[in-house]
């Protein structure tokens, strides 16, 4: 028997919470359980004024929006904001109600330019999230994956910069080199020479 959907339910009001609407096995629930984003407040508090200016957007929400973009492979901040407007799980992750307006897509860029540019905030936040993800078992540091996408480089030798690399970067580089050398030895090739 052919059933026709009753479209009159669109305007129906129901008492339901976001908690009920987000599936228990959704990735944002796993991330929320394994990573505590509260550390961001202490990392950025000196970049915000205590008495002057308009109330800011919660910095944890700003970082979580960027986290959603990269975690779910959304191509632009504009598209990320469109997805958050309609995705209940994203709103739940951000702690936003269904009626709360989502920040404009330019908000992240403006905050970056005015507050975070020239600071190590992103590096500190990334390292802390990575540390928590490793502790929670979401990332296994003994396995390293490299993206092999070809990108045209702007390789002007006159514009080189010497940059100090954090210990975490050295660890992953060393692990990657060891893995490559194990593969080379298994294939009967000489191990690569270590670069200084």
Print pLDDT tens along the chain (196 aa). 777 777 777 777 778 888 888 999 999 999 999 999 999 888 887 777 677 766 678 888 988 998 899 888 898 899 999 999 999 999 999 999 888 888 888 887 777 777 777 788 888 888 898 888 888 888 777 766 666 666 666 666 677 666 665 666 667 677 778 877 887 788 787 887 776 5
Q: Residue 97, Cα to own-chain centre: how many angstroms?
A: 21
Threshold 0.75, pTM exceeds: no
Residues 6+ apart with CB under 8 A from 116: 44, 47, 122
* Closest to 125 in 3D by CA, of 77, 70, 53, 74: 70
Q: By the 8 A CB rule, do 90 and 68 touch?
A: yes
Q: What is the pLDDT of residue 56?
A: 73
| pLDDT value, residue 88 | 93
- pLDDT at residue number 141: 72
pLDDT at 196: 59
Task: Please compute, for residue 120, the number of CA atoms within 13 A of its CA located in the half-sphere on the CB side.
Answer: 6
The ranges assigned to domains in the chain are 21-48+56-139, 142-149+161-196
Q: Could you tell me what percentage of the chain is helix, strand and coil, using 3-state DSSP and rounding each to the nearest 5?
A: 55, 0, 45
Half-sphere exposure of 55 (CA within 13 A, CB side): 3
Q: Give the pLDDT of residue 151.
A: 65
Number of Cβ within a 10 Å radius of residue 30: 13
């Amino acid at each position: 028997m052919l059933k026709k959907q009753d479209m009159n339910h669109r305007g129906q009001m129901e008492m339901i919470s976001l908690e009920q609407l987000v599936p228990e096995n959704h990735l944002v629930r796993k991330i929320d359980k394994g990573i505590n984003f509260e550390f961001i407040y202490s990392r950025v508090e000196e970049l915000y004024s205590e008495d002057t200016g308009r109330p800011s957007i919660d910095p944890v929400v700003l970082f979580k929006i960027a986290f959603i973009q990269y975690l779910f492979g959304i191509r632009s901040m504009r598209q990320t904001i469109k997805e958050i407007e309609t995705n209940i799980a994203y709103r739940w992750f951000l702690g936003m109600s269904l009626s709360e307006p989502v920040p404009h897509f330019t908000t992240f860029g403006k905050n970056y330019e005015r507050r975070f540019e020239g600071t190590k905030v992103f590096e500190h936040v990334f390292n802390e999230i990575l540390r928590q993800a490793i502790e929670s078992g979401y990332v296994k540091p003994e396995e390293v994956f490299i993206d092999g996408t070809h990108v045209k480089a702007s390789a002007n030798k006159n514009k080189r910069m010497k940059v100090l690399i954090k210990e975490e970067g050295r660890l992953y580089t060393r692990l990657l080199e060891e893995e490559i050398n194990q593969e080379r030895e298994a294939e009967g090739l000489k191990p690569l020479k270590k670069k200084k």
